[in-house]
Chain A
Amino acid sequence: MLAKRIIPCLDIKDGRTVKGVNFVDLRDAGDPVELAEIYSKEGADELVFLDISATEQKRKTLAELVYHVAEKVNIPFTVGGGISSVEDVDILLQNGADKVSINSSAVKNPQLINDLVAKFGSQCIVVAIDAKQINGEWIVHLIGGKVPTERKLFEWAKEVEQRGAGEILFTSMDHDGTKNGFANEALARLSKELNIPIIASGGAGNMQHFADTFTTGKADAALAASVFHFKEIGIQDLKENLQENGIPVRL
């Protein structure tokens, strides 16, 4: 049976791992390559590296970091942050990234999704969507949740799927950093309306939150950062807990 995935997210700034509460107020949580190895040994199913400074600073690549991670780590990993062209993706994949995630650049130029899919295939193109509720409507935001767009979450997600993305990484800016659980209602609706895997992000605080996002939220994978980085939740413990709750995991 296909297992539900647990994905630690390593937010990267200047080559170091950071995690901000609501994406501001950054704290240093270590060396990314070392952390990646530890997570892989602890049973993480996948890793995501997001250069959170990239969108604002237009930093193009994490090629060197990607190379060193690929050298050491034997589980798949995704790289995102500031990726805006076919060349950016080409460099990251050549250096050993399994998938890339695009966010702002896809909103600004949706055709980029089609171009990337045509060149590299759906399987390695993840579209990350940050959204928060404004007057009861989920609105897509850019620049780490700072800038609202005209796009509505569910319409944009459907367009992203139609353009060929292999997966969606949905972060609720309302839940991110709160540790009160994932945005399960919106997640379940995404899973119902779309037919590609959905990664839940934003709000993990305890083990029950993960169980809930896989059952109520119908998520295929759950991503979190600080609860893992600060050892509040051990990945192995989490997976054992999920298995006891009848959720298929890789142990």
Chain B
Amino acid sequence: MNIVIINYGAGNIQSIKFAIQRLGYEAILSHDIEEIRNAHKVIFPGVGEASSAMKKLRNSQLDRLIPDLKQPVLGICLGMQLMCNFSEEGNTKGLGIFDTSVVKFSNAVKVPQIGWNQISNLKSGIFKEVAENEHIYLVHSFYAPLCTATIAESEYDVTYSAALQKDNFYGTQFHPEKSSAVGAKILKNFLKL
């Protein structure tokens, strides 16, 4: 299987590569349009600030490629957020795959949320054999509210989308590559789609 992790200069992609390796697969890092288009699975990572990450995508024309992809695509953390319509962070227009905006947590809670929170109301094949209320690892200041694409919920300040799905596009706010055995299972489920 041909797995590509999109390498556009935003994110801790080494740990995603290692996580895939631990599952017995190899992933390549690439920003090449053809290589990404021909992959069986595409992982779209991202950490950092939304507007500068979006700028990097535009500079390499990945902003036009990603919404057109037909194979399963998994956005992680900022990757997921950039797949939404819009982010309050840097007033950033996103890729418009998930029909929702990304907003900031209020000051009623510590921001960023850092650590292990629970996921519930699991609704997708990527959560096959994952129990309700398992803990996953997140680090984020912005979140996608609940919407029609929500396939997992979590609670911090509000109940928000821990994962989204529309057609072949998946997104997790959490880091499956850093979420211990639960994360590994979710990543494996995605690779087996």
User: Which residue in B15, B118, B141 is a CB contact (below 8 Å) of A122?
Assistant: B141
| Interface pair B112/A196, CB less than 8 Å apart | yes
Q: How large is the interface on A (under 10, 10 to 19, 20 to 34, 35 or more residues)?
A: 35 or more
| A interface footprint on B13-36 (CB within 8 Å = 1, 0 otherwise) | 011001101100000000000000
Q: Which chain A positions have C-beta within 8 A of B49?
A: 118, 121
Interface positions, chain A 97-143, Cβ under 8 Å from B, are 97-98, 118-124
Q: Does A234 contact B (CB under 8 A)?
A: no
| Interface pair A76/B111, CB less than 8 Å apart | no
| Interface pair A3/B116, CB less than 8 Å apart | yes
| Interface pair A96/B12, CB less than 8 Å apart | yes
User: Which residue in B110, B140, B156, B184 is a CB contact (below 8 Å) of A123?
Assistant: B140
Q: Which chain A positions have C-beta within 8 A of B71?
A: none
| Interface pair B48/A74, CB less than 8 Å apart | no
| Interface pair A2/B115, CB less than 8 Å apart | yes
Q: Does B179 contact A (CB under 8 A)?
A: yes
Q: How large is the interface on B (under 10, 10 to 19, 20 to 34, 35 or more residues)?
A: 35 or more
| Interface pair A76/B175, CB less than 8 Å apart | yes
| Interface pair B178/A75, CB less than 8 Å apart | yes
Q: Determine the main DSSP class of B at the interface with A.
A: mixed
Q: Which chain B positions have C-beta within 8 A of A197?
A: 110, 112, 114-115
How many contacting A-B pairs (Cβ < 8 A)?
94
Q: Does B107 contact A (CB under 8 A)?
A: yes
Interface positions, chain A 189-231, Cβ under 8 Å from B, are 195-197, 220-221
Interface positions, chain B 163-178, Cβ under 8 Å from A, are 175, 177-178
User: Which residue in B18, B116, B140 is a CB contact (below 8 Å) of A250?
Assistant: B116
Given contacts A75-B180, A93-B12, A121-B47, whether A166 and B116 have CB atoms under 8 Å apart is no
Q: Which chain B positions have C-beta within 8 A of A245?
A: none
| Interface pair A1/B112, CB less than 8 Å apart | no
Q: Which chain B positions have C-beta within 8 A of A98?
A: 12, 15, 139, 178
| Interface pair A195/B118, CB less than 8 Å apart | no
User: Which residue in B114, B118, B183 is a CB contact (below 8 Å) of A166?
Assistant: B114
Q: Does B86 contact A (CB under 8 A)?
A: no
The 5 A-B residue pairs with the shortest CB-CB distance, nearest first, are: A121-B48, A96-B14, A250-B135, A123-B139, A250-B116
Interface residues of A (CB under 8 A from B): 1-5, 40, 45-46, 67, 70-71, 74-76, 93-98, 118-124, 166-167, 195-197, 220-221, 250
Q: A121-B49, A166-B114 are in contact. List 9 more A-B contacts (CB 8 A).
A: A2-B116, A70-B15, A76-B137, A95-B14, A98-B15, A122-B112, A195-B107, A196-B112, A250-B135
